[in-house]
Structure 1
Amino acid sequence: MPEGDTVWQAARRLHDALAGEVLTRSDLRVPKYATADLTGRTVLGVTARGKHLLTRVEGGLTLHSHLRMDGSWRVYANDQRWTGGPGHQIRAILGTADRTAVGYRLPVLELMRTADEERAVGHLGPDLLGPDWHPERALANLLADPARPLGEALLDQRNLAGIGNVYKCELCFLLGVSPWLPAGELPADRAAKLPALAKRLLEVNRDRPVRATTGRRGQDLFVYGRAHRPCLRCGTPVRLADQGDGSRERPTYWCPACQPGPAPAPGSPAARRIRPRTGN
């Protein structure tokens, strides 16, 4: 699931493959840009901004993409077979003399002037993995709507950029609070820890092939994906329910013992009903 660390990794792969190279192939497979041709231009660099990717090209142009749930960029040697999915899922191809970057299932792909990048990313809050990181501002953003559930506030990229559903669940667990706790009721000592803890989670995972928050081999995450399995701390079955503002619900995992506070009642419309699993 693409979150800030995954997008940072994608930016690094693309930058390493394309930066400083002249494009020998350019194919943007979205109707609006079907005739756009970037061949002959040098790629200046690729950077991540939250969950957004910005590929800057000579001539003051930027190719902006967003992976959302299942998009991806793959990099191949020019004699290598493409394996990211069927051809009809390809949305972008950027090729150089040695490498080809292929964008699959990209829900957002737009070519813009580099000077206009703020139109795409200017709404984002401080980036957990970016040079603009500002912990005090991020915390102030999270607490600006004190009645909003903390889990929803963490996912709002206008507050801070880079947290997705996995880190939302894991961060709430590590803070010992329910994702449904109103942000304004977060105890002061835990609120003070939140920005640094969130940044640490993404930083330690941005160079890892498998995301982990526990430090335990074979048990990578504390609660995410562990519905009805024993909590790694106390043994209480982890619960699962949907959380959202009505526009999009997200599966949310938490331990009711380690994370006391408001939550959907078992059997409520938000609660998920799945077959229990055994083991750790």
Structure 2
Amino acid sequence: MPEGDTVWLAAQRMHTALAGATLTRGEFRLPQLAALDLTGATVTEVLPRGKHLLIRLADGRTLRTHFRMDGSWHIYRPGTTWRGGPSHDVRVVLATDGWECVGYRLHDVEIVATADEGRLVGHLGPDVLGPDWDLDEAVRRLRQNPDEQIGVAILDQRNLAGIGNLYKVETLFLCGVHPWARVGDVEDLETVVDRARTLMLANRNHPEQSTTGSTRRGQDHWVAGRKGRPCRRCGTPILLGEQGPATQERVTWWCPTCQAARSPIDPRARTGEPGRPQPVTLYRR
């Protein structure tokens, strides 16, 4: 699942392959950029910003890409068969004498002046995996909207950048917080945010995303993908629901016992099968 740690790892690998090298191929397979050719440009650095990947060029331009749910960059030696998917899924090809970086199903592909990067990423909150991470600022931004659902608020990249749905549900489970609790009712936001960062730091150097400490299939997550299966802590069946504004809903897993609401939860809570609202106990005294 492409989240901030996935983008961080991709940026490190692409920086190693491209930084300081001149592109022998800079091809775009997108209608809006089909006429653009980056051949001859020199890459100065590749770095992540939340879920955005920035490729800076020596001529003062930056290529920004976003993975969203299904995008990825793959790196190959010249002459190696590309195995990231069918050729019609390729969006960008950046090659040097030593490497070929192939972008599959990339989104928000755009070239801007490096000085104008703020137009693309300036709205983002503190980067969870960034060198300038600021816990206090992230918490301050979250508290600006105390009536928002915590599960929605920590996915809002304007509050803090990099957290995706997987780390949302796993963090809230580990902290015992109901996903539909109001931000203002979460007693220790600092702990919630810091736990999410700890999980991401633990996973950023490898493609596997484990929150339990095990990388074995089926044992790597506490609640994500485990609807109806017993909670690893208490045995209660894990619930699944939809959360988020209309057209932007994200599936949410949680344990109704370990994450029992201790204050009235947001009445917009929807539980059960996605798309099928069902009654929910508001809180447990």
In the other structure, the counterpart of 2:281 is: none
Counterpart amino acid of residue 230 in structure 1: P
Counterpart Cα distance in 1 of 2:253 and 2:84: 29
1:140 to partner: Cα distance: 1.1
1:250 to partner: Cα distance: 0.6
What pairs with 1:77-92 in structure 2 (closer than 5 Å)?
Answer: 77-92=77-92
In the other structure, the counterpart of 1:111 is: 111
1:266 to partner: Cα distance: 4.8
After superposition, the C-alpha distances for 1:229-277 in whole angstroms (9 at most, x for unaligned) are 0101001000000111113111100000000113545578246xxxxxx
In the other structure, the counterpart of 2:255 is: 255
After superposition, the C-alpha distances for 1:209-235 in whole angstroms (9 at most, x for unaligned) are 311111245311110011100101001
What pairs with 1:8-87 in structure 2 (closer than 5 Å)?
Answer: 8-87=8-87
1:206 to partner: Cα distance: 0.2
Counterpart Cα distance in 1 of 2:40 and 2:107: 26
Counterpart amino acid of residue 200 in structure 1: T
Counterpart amino acid of residue 204 in structure 1: A
SS at match of 1:110: strand
Counterpart Cα distance in 2 of 1:265 and 1:104: 34
Give the alignment's TM-score, normalised by structure 1: 0.93
Q: How many residues in Structure 1 have an aligned counterpart in Structure 2? A: 269
SS at match of 2:59: coil
Counterpart Cα distance in 2 of 1:97 and 1:265: 53
SS at match of 2:131: coil
SS at match of 2:154: helix
After superposition, the C-alpha distances for 1:73-129 in whole angstroms (9 at most, x for unaligned) are 111100100111111111100010011101111121011111111111000000000
The correspondence for 1:203, drawn from 201, 209, 218, is 201
In the other structure, the counterpart of 1:162 is: 162
Deviates most, 144-153 or 209-218: 209-218
Determine whether 1:3 maps to 2:3.
yes
Give structure 2 stretches of 5+ with no counterpart: 279-285
Counterpart Cα distance in 1 of 2:214 and 2:41: 46
Counterpart Cα distance in 1 of 2:54 and 2:212: 31
Identity of counterpart residues, as a percentage?
A: 51
In the other structure, the counterpart of 1:191 is: 189
Give the alignment's TM-score, normalised by structure 2: 0.91
SS at match of 2:197: helix
In the other structure, the counterpart of 1:269 is: 276
Q: CA RMSD in A?
A: 1.4
